[in-house]
A and B are shown apart, each in its own frame.
Chain A
Amino acid sequence: MAQLPQNKTGYIRGVRGVVVTALEEDGTPKTPEELYGIKTAQEVGVSVQIESGEEDILRGGDKLLARIKEHDTVVGAELSLKNARFDAKAMEMIAGGTLIEEAEGEDTRIVGWEAPTIEEQQVPPIFKAEVYAANFSAGGVIDGFVKYSFPYCKATFGNESLQDQSWAIPEMKVDCTESPLGGGAYRKEFVSSLPTELIS
Chain B
Amino acid sequence: MITLKALVNRIVKHKGREYRLKREEEAPQMPTELRRLLVDVGRLEKPIESKTGKIQKLLMKEEESDGTTASE
Contacts and interface: CB of A to CB of B under 8 A. Distances in A.
B58 interface: no
Given A103-B34, A103-B37, A114 B11 contact: yes
B64 to A, nearest CB: 22
A199 B4 CA distance: 37
B34 A106 contact: no
Nearest to B23: A98
Interface residues of A, number: 12
Instruction: Classify the interface of chain A: helix, strand, loop or mixed.
Output: strand
Given A108-B37, A108-B41, A108-B43, A103 B9 contact: no
A108 B11 contact: no
A51 interface: no
A99 interface: yes
Which of A98, A99, A101, A114 has most B Cβ within 10 Å? A101
B40 to A, nearest CB: 7
B11 A100 contact: yes
Contact of A98 (B9, B14, B37, B41): B9
Contacts of B10: 98-101
29 contacts: A98-B9, A98-B10, A98-B11, A98-B20, A99-B9, A99-B10, A99-B11, A100-B10, A100-B11, A100-B12, A100-B13, A101-B11, A102-B12, A102-B13, A102-B14, A103-B12, A103-B14, A103-B34, A103-B37, A106-B37, A106-B40, A107-B41, A108-B37, A108-B38, A108-B41, A108-B43, A111-B13, A112-B11, A114-B11
Given A98-B20, A101-B43, A102-B14, 7 more contacts: A98-B9, A98-B10, A99-B9, A101-B10, A101-B11, A101-B12, A108-B41
